[in-house]
Amino acid sequence: MSDIRSSNLIPAEQFATTGKTAIDRVMAKQMGFFDRANTLHITSAVDSVDAFQCYDAVHHAVCSVGLQAHRVPLAFILTYLATMAEMRFHLRTGFGRDEEGFGGTVGHYFGGLGQGSGGAASAWQVVSGLMLGAYKRADYGVEMQMAWSAFCFVVAAVLFVDDCDLLHMCVDPDMSDYEFLARKQRAMYFWARLLMASGGSLRDIKCSCYLLMYKFVNGEARLKKMREMPRYEFVIPVFDDVDQPIEQLEVDTAMKTLGVFTAPLSAPKTKSNPDCRSHHLAYMVDKGEKWRVKVSSSKLTTRDIWFSFFQSTKPSMSFGIVPIMDPPEVVEEAFQSLYFRCLPMLGVNRYITKGWRMLPCRFQGLGLPNMALEKLLESLMWLQRHWDVGKGMGLVVREAYERLQVETGLSGNVFLRSFSTYGCLATHTWYKVFWEYLDHYNVRLEIGDGYDVPAVRERDQVFMEVALPQTPHSDWPFLNRVRHHKGIFWLSQLTHADGISIRQSCLDRSRSTDSSMIFPRQEPTASNFEVWRRAIYTISSSTLCLQVPLGWFRRLPYVKLLWKVSRDRSALVCITTATNGRTLYLPSTSIATRHGRRYVRSARPPPPISAFPFIASIITYPDRSVAIHSVALDPIVSEEDRPTTLLATIKSFPNQSLWRYIDLDGDGEWIVDGLARGTLAIVHDGSFMEHLDPAVCSAGGIIFCHVACRIATFSAAERTDSNTASNYRGELLGGLLAALILKAASSLISGDAHPAVLACDNMGVVLHGNERHRSLKEAQSQADIIRCFRAVLAGLPFAISYEHVYGHQDDNVPWESLTLLQQLNTIADQLAKEAIWKAFDTGYYISSNFPFESFRIIIGGRKVTSSIRSALYNDWGSRAARTLFEQRNIISSSNFDLVCWDAVSQAMSIYPRMIPQSLVTLQQSFLRQCGSHWKIRTWSSHCVQYLLNITHRQWLYRNAHIYIKKLDGMTEGEHHTIIDLVKDMMLVDPADLLPCHRGLLQVDFERLGEGSAVDRKLWLTKMHSAIAAAAAPPQCVGPDDDDSAPSSSQSAYTRLAFRSYEEYRRHSGIMATKRSNQAKRVRL
C-alpha cells in the first residue's frame, strides 16, 4: 500500500486510508458539497448508499484485475485469493467440533476478502478505486471549479469503507429539475450495478438521499421542503433484479455518519429561533448527560469521577466537534447547563460562579473544558493539516475559501476582518462559523499572499471596498446580492477597456454570464437594484465615469469570452478562455457609420494571436454584429526589477533576519551552475543547548560543489519558548534555509535542473522532505515550520530527495575515513553550535515569520510555534482570569502579570499560591552566574511545590483539629477543650458552692467521661451557674445572673476555672457566628 500511495493511485474520494480520518470524510461532504450548494444556490443531491458486507462480498476476478493494475505481484495475488477461496471453517460447540466443516472447494469457491484479514482493507480500496474510475468514465460526478483561479477537479463520491455518498450537482443552467432527478437516478443505479458486478450489493434499509433545491423569497434563497419539490421515486437494484425504493430525507433532518450528525440545513441562532442547536451539538450534550446519570448512581470517589470525565467523557463529547456550525455563544451555553448538573458529582458546589468552571487550572479554576474553544482549537488543527496541500482535501479547502472570497467581495484575508461588521456578507457555511470563532476569541489567522485575488489593472480596486463605506450597513446584503447577479468583483469588471466608462449592462436587471468567476445564483428584487444603482452613481458620477481612470492591464480579465483587436482594427478575434478556441470577426463594410464600424463573424481561420495586441470592449447588436467601444494594450510583464544574482534574489525574500550569517563565497553564481549540472552536496544540521537556554535553538548548513570546489555556509539562531525550542526545530530550520536557497537558485536557471539531493541526520526531517504532499498529523509538533518547509520544497521546479546521514561520526571515526556527507554534516553541526554562541553574545535572533508561510496563527500578539491548545487556553484564560480576579477583588488588573503563572501551572495550579515573576527572573540570573545545573523551570516548579506543601500541611492540620466534625458534631479540638474544662471543674472546692449545689461534685466522673459530649457540656453549664450563684449576694440572685463574677471569698482556683469556662463560651460564640456567615456567603 505504501507503493500505491506514493504513486498517487488511491482516489482522493477514498478516506479510509493512511493520513485521512473520519472527520475528513465528514468535512468533505459538509464543506465541499453542502456549503457549495448553499452558497451558489445550485440544485444538488446526495445519495447515501451503504454496501452490504463489503469485505465478504467481493468477486475475486475483479479484485485480481485491480491488484494487478496497481502493480501488486501476481504471485502474492494468487496466494492471497486462493487462500480466501478454499479456506474451510469448523464450528466448535459444547458438544464437540464439526470435523467436516464448510467452505470453498474446487469449482465452488468462497468469495470475499476475509473480514478482519490484513489484506482486506487494502484490497477493498483497490476494488472501490476501479468502481470510482468506471463511475467517472460514465460522466458522473461533480466538476468543482474554484471561484477565481478557475482550477477544476472532479469529485464523484465520498467513501469510507462501505459508507458511500454519491454527489450530484446541476451545473447546466438549462437543465430542468426532472432532467436532473432522472440523471441522479441513473447515476445511483449505475453505481449499484458496479457494486453488484464486483460481487457486492447495496443495503436498501440504510440507503437514503437528500435533494437540495432552492427558491427565492423577497430575494433571499431558501431550501425547499420536500412538499415543494417534484415528486420522484428513487430506487436501487438488489438481488434478482428487484428494485427497492429508498427514503428521501428532509433537508433539516440530520443523518449520522461515522458518529457525526450532518444535514444540508444547519440554521444559525436567530432572533426567531434563539435556542437553535445543531443535531450534533445536542448529541454531544446528551453524551455528557448520560455520563452524569451513570456516575450519580455509582460508588466512584470524586477523584475517580474527575478521571472518568477527562479520560472518557471529554474525548467522547468532543468527537465530531469540527463540523458543527453553532455560534460560540450557543456552544458555551449548552455546556454551561451540563456542567451545572455535573458539578455535585465532581464534588463542587453547583452554585459556584460561572467564571470558575471553565477557567484553566493554570489560573486556579476548575479546568472544565470550554467546548467552544475546543471547537476553534480542533478546527485550527484540522485546517492546518490540509491548508495549501495541493491535492485531495487540500483542494476542497482552497475551493471553499475562494468561494468565500468571491461571495463576500472583500479584498485580502477575509479572516482578518471584523465578523460583527462583515459577517452579513457571507452565507451560513463552515468557513463563516470558523470566521466567527476567530473573531470571538481574538485569534489572528494569517495566510499567504497566494490566496489574494490578483488585480486586473493598475489602480484597480475591489468594488465592495469602494461601495460599502458609501452604503448604509443595513443595505450591504442587498448590494452584495446584486453584485453576485452581475458578476462583479473588481472595478475593472464594471468598466470598458478604456478604464473609465461604466458599462450600461451593469445598470439593467439582466444576469451577467460573461464572468469566469463563480458567483452565487441570485434573484434580486426591485429594491435591491435600487440600492445597486445608488451605489454605482455614488462611486462614479452622473455621467457614469470613474473619477480616477484605471491603468494598464496587469493580467487578462476574468471573462469567458475575451475580445482582442488588431493594431489597425481590421479584425476582431473572440477567444473562449476555457478552451482557447478562437473566432474571427471582420468589418461588415469598409465605410464606418456614425455608430462606429461593425464586425460580423467570419468563417476564415483567425491569424496568430500575436496579430491582436489590444484588448477590446465590444457592443453587441441584435443582428449579432459587434462594434468596438474602446481598446487597451495587452498585459505587459515587466522584468526590470527582477534580481539577476543569487544573493540579490535571496535579499529580495521577506524576513531578512534569516540571512545575517550567510556566506556564498561570492555572488553565488557557482551554486546556480552546480544546481543545473547536479554537482551540489547540501547538508544541514541543528543544535539545542537546553542547559544554557531552553528557549533557543539554531541551525547550520553547508553547500559544496565538487566541480567548482567552492563552499557556501549559512546559520541562524531562533528564540521562541521552552515548549517550542528543540533540536528537532533546529534541524527543520536548517532544512528551510537550504530550501529557500534552492528556491532562489531555481529562479535563475534558464533550462532544466538536475534532481537535487539534501542530507540530514534527523529522520523526521528526511520523512517530511520526501513526503511533501502528505497531510500533517492532527497534533503535529513544529507544524508551522514543517508546513513552510514542505511548501517551499513542493514549489521547486525540479525533483528533490532527502538522504539520511548519521551524525557525530567524527567522535569515533577518523576524519579521513568519513564520507563526504558525514564530513559536511560535522561542519554543519559546528556551524549550528557557533550560531547559538553568537546569539548569546550579540542577542541577535531571527524572526519566526518565515518567508512564503501560507498559514500563520497569531494568539495574543505572538505567533504560535508549539501547541495551539496551550496558546489558546493561556490567552483566553488570562483574559478571563484577569476580569474575574478584578471583579472578585483577588488581584487587580495592573498586578495580574506580576504573578509567575508558568511556575504555578507547572506545579499544582489548584492551590491558591503564587510567586512573583521578579523572583523567577532574579533566581534565573543567579543560577547562570554560579554555573548551576538547575534549570529555571525545575527550580520554580520545586519552589512552588515547597510552598504548596507548607500550605497543604497547614490545611491538613486545620481540617483535623478545627473543621472536621466528629462525634456529637464537634471537632477534635473542641472535644479536647471540653475534657480539659471538666478536669478543671472537678478540682473546685465544695466549700465555694452553696450547699444545694455541692452534689454536682459527687457525680460519677468516670461515667461522665465515657458519656456524650452533650452530658459534659450540660454538667459544665450547671457548675458555672453554681459558682455564679455562690458568689452573688442572696438578695440579688436571680435567673439572669449567671454571668456574675465569682466573689473574692472563693478560692483562686475556683475563680480560674470560672474564667476558663467564660473564655470557652465566648470563643464558641465567635466561631459559630463565623460559620453562619460563611454559610450565608456560600448560599449567595
Would residue 163 be called left, alpha or beta, if left means φ above 0 and alpha means ψ between -120 and 50 degrees? beta
Please determine, for residue 456, whether its predicted confidence score (pLDDT) is greater than 50.
Answer: yes
Q: 450 Cβ partners below 8 Å, 6+ apart?
A: 388, 854
Query: What is the per-residue pLDDT across 540-589, written as a single tens digit (0 to 9) for each?
Result: 988 899 989 999 999 999 999 999 999 988 899 999 988 889 999 999 87
Q: Which of 361, 338, 359 is nearest to 350 (CA)?
A: 338
Q: In the prediction, which pLDDT does 1080 show?
A: 38
Query: What is the per-residue pLDDT across 798-817, written as a single tens digit (0 to 9) for each?
Result: 888 899 999 888 888 888 88
Pair 190, 138: CB distance under 8 Å: yes
Please determine, for residue 908, whether its predicted confidence score (pLDDT) is greater than 70.
Answer: no
Mean pLDDT of the chain: 85
Query: What is the per-residue pLDDT across 752-771, written as a single tens digit (0 to 9) for each?
Result: 778 888 999 999 999 998 88
Confidence band, pLDDT 50/70/90 cuts, at residue 249: very high
Query: What is the per-residue pLDDT across 1045-1070, written as a single tens digit (0 to 9) for each?
Result: 555 556 666 666 667 767 766 666 55
Confidence band, pLDDT 50/70/90 cuts, at residue 1083: very low
Strands 260-262 and 443-447, by their bridges, are unpaired
- DSSP letter assigned to residue 846: B
Beta bridge partners of 256: 261
CA distance 974 to 1015: 14
Q: Which of 776, 777, 735, 775 is nearest to 756 (CA)?
A: 735
Please determine, for residue 1071, whether its predicted confidence score (pLDDT) is greater than 70.
Answer: no
CA distance 1046 to 988: 12
Q: Which stretch, 73-77, 594-598, 775-779, has highest mean pLDDT?
A: 73-77
Look up cell 504573578; give the residue. Answer: 899
* Residue with the larger pLDDT of the pair 594 and 254: 254
Which of 365-369, 455-459, 926-930 bottoms out in mean pLDDT, i.e. has the lowest? 926-930
Alpha helices (runs of H) in 747-864, residue ranges in sequence order: 763-770, 783-794, 820-842
Question: How many angstroms from the chain centroid is the CA of residue 428?
Answer: 18
Compute the C-alpha angle 157/162/164, nearest 5°.
20
Beta bridge partners of 857: 445
Give this prediction's pTM. Answer: 0.81
Pair 724, 674: CB distance under 8 Å: no
C-alpha cell belonging to residue 317: 463529547
Pair 479, 527: CB distance under 8 Å: no
Please determine, for residue 594, whether its predicted confidence score (pLDDT) is greater than 60.
Answer: no
Please determine, for residue 538, whether its predicted confidence score (pLDDT) is greater than 90.
Answer: yes
CA distance 394 to 436: 22
Confidence band, pLDDT 50/70/90 cuts, at residue 975: confident
Q: 760 Cβ partners below 8 Å, 6+ apart?
A: 683, 684, 685, 731, 734, 735, 766, 769, 802, 803, 804, 805, 825
Which of 569-573, 721-725, 939-943, 998-1002 bottoms out in mean pLDDT, i.e. has the lowest? 939-943
Question: How far, CA to CA in Å, does 1072 sit from each of 49, 963, 1068?
Answer: 71, 12, 6
Query: What is the per-residue pLDDT across 647-677, written as a single tens digit (0 to 9) for each?
Result: 889 988 988 999 999 999 888 889 998 998 8
Q: What is the DSSP string of 456-508?
A: SBTT--BHHHHHGGGS-GGGHHHHHHHHHHHT-SBGGGTB-TTSSBBPGGGTS
Q: b/e map of 286-320 (b: 16 or more CB within 10 Å)?
A: ebbeebbeebeeeeeeeeebbebbeeebbeebbbb
